[in-house]
Amino acid sequence: MWVIGSYDKQGKPNLMTAAWVGICASTPPSVTVCLRKATYTHGNIMERKAFTVNIASESLARNAAYVGRVSGRTQDKFLTTGLTPVKSAQVDAPFVKEFPLVAECEVRQTVEVGSHTMFIGEIMDVKAARSIVGEDGVPDMGKLKPFVFSPGSSQFYGIGPSLGKVSELAKRADENSP
Amino acid sequence: MWVIGSYDKQGKPNLMTAAWVGICASTPPSVTVCLRKATYTHGNIMERKAFTVNIASESLARNAAYVGRVSGRTQDKFLTTGLTPVKSAQVDAPFVKEFPLVAECEVRQTVEVGSHTMFIGEIMDVKAARSIVGEDGVPDMGKLKPFVFSPGSSQFYGIGPSLGKVSELAKRADENSP
């Protein structure tokens, strides 16, 4: 699950939860966010050409659920959740202070796909809380504790234990092959 | 993690593991797959305008790791893994018989994003093994046991326990709000 931060025309910060978000290129580092036109955030991103992607830890699951179920048209979601908007250094969008991993993105392309608009953003900066960075200097899955959305049952699920290094798994498959 | 099935020019079925895959629209149901031009699968999809997205269970993690680390240019990955290619009914691409959840996709748009090409495919059919479908008739996360890729540490992680229904989580956030 991802929480998208944006400003509206008047500069009011807004948040929404989005499931259809993902990395799409490494050079330049880019991310896609797919939104229905009816969402308040859609209009905001069209206007400001910028957004943030905020990744929640399990402890923020209630907030992520909440901001996905009410509209910024009728509510100041930062006010009702008590979360803190911070103006991004690099782009015209707010990020959420309490979220441990944040990407600041500038829109480079928009693609229409039926019911949804896909915003392709270049990642201009990434902020990670010290508490979720591993010894190797990159975000650690076990410390970040992100979670995923299952649309069938409409539940959030945590991330489970490691199944192993990909290189080790591949080696074992090779040994077993005919 | 997702495993992409495609045919090459000569009709040889190929597989590759991809991390940058996701749903992008509900109407028509659409999925994006982002690939470097250097991959064999990239050329196949350009040629055939079709692919399958195969979702592995934890028990297939070794196979998913393996097909992500060798190229179909030099190897018949179905042969080396012992997996079974099945010609899709709806599109010009093979799916993997042993995988519990499969989507057959036809390319509708291609978008260039720096290092990667994004293929936007319309989902023409979905096949789910009876063993992973819940009582409500949709795939069940706990039965499917999919897994995710952590690029930092290059490990696969399973899906953990449910954190709860999104509607219940949102309600509790609302009760706590100021």
Q: Predicted confidence band at B173 (pLDDT cuts at 50, 70, 90)?
A: confident
8 Å CB contact of B164 and A156: yes
Q: What is the pTM of this model?
A: 0.94
Q: Predicted confidence band at A70 (pLDDT cuts at 50, 70, 90)?
A: confident
Mean pLDDT, residues B159-177? 85
- A167: closest chain B residue by CA: B65
8 Å CB contact of B153 and A136: yes
User: What are the pLDDT digits (tens) for A138-157?
Assistant: 999 989 999 999 988 899 99
Residue A30 CA to residue B109 CA, distance in Å, equals 18
- A66: closest chain B residue by CA: B170
Contact between B17 and B63 under an 8 Å Cβ cutoff? The reply is no
- A155: closest chain B residue by CA: B165
Residue A50 CA to residue A92 CA, distance in Å, equals 6
Contact between B27 and A115 under an 8 Å Cβ cutoff? The reply is yes
Residue A51 has pLDDT above 70, yes or no: yes
Residues of A in contact with B112 (CB under 8 A): none
User: What are the pLDDT digits (tens) for B156-165?
Assistant: 999 999 999 9
Mean pLDDT, residues B33-48? 97
Tell me, what's the pLDDT at A177? 58
Residue A128 CA to residue A137 CA, distance in Å, equals 10
- Most B CBs within 10 Å, among A83, A163, A167, to test the B interface: A163
Mean pLDDT, residues A91-103? 97
8 Å CB contact of B154 and A147: no
Mean pLDDT, residues A85-96? 97
Per the model's pLDDT, the better-predicted residue between A115 and A67 turns out to be A115
Residue A16 CA to residue A47 CA, distance in Å, equals 16
Tell me, what's the pLDDT at A23? 96
Residues of A in contact with B167 (CB under 8 A): 65, 69, 154
- Most B CBs within 10 Å, among A35, A74, A113, A175, to test the B interface: A113
Residue A41: how many other CB atoms lie within 10 Å? 23
Written as six digits, the tokens of B88 are 């899709």
Mean pLDDT, residues A14-38? 96
* Residue in B30, B115, B141 nearest the CB of A157: B141
Domains by residue range for chain B, with CATH: 2-176 (2.30.110.10)
Written as six digits, the tokens of B78 are 């179905």
Tell me, what's the pLDDT at A48? 98
Q: Predicted confidence band at B153 (pLDDT cuts at 50, 70, 90)?
A: confident
- B81: closest chain A residue by CA: A177
Per the model's pLDDT, the better-predicted residue between B176 and B175 turns out to be B175
Cβ-count burial A93-110 (b if 16+ within 10 Å, e if not):
bbbbebbbbbbbbbbebe
Shortest distance between the Cα of B105 and any Cα of chain A, in A, equals 14
User: What are the pLDDT digits (tens) for B88-102?
Assistant: 999 999 999 999 999
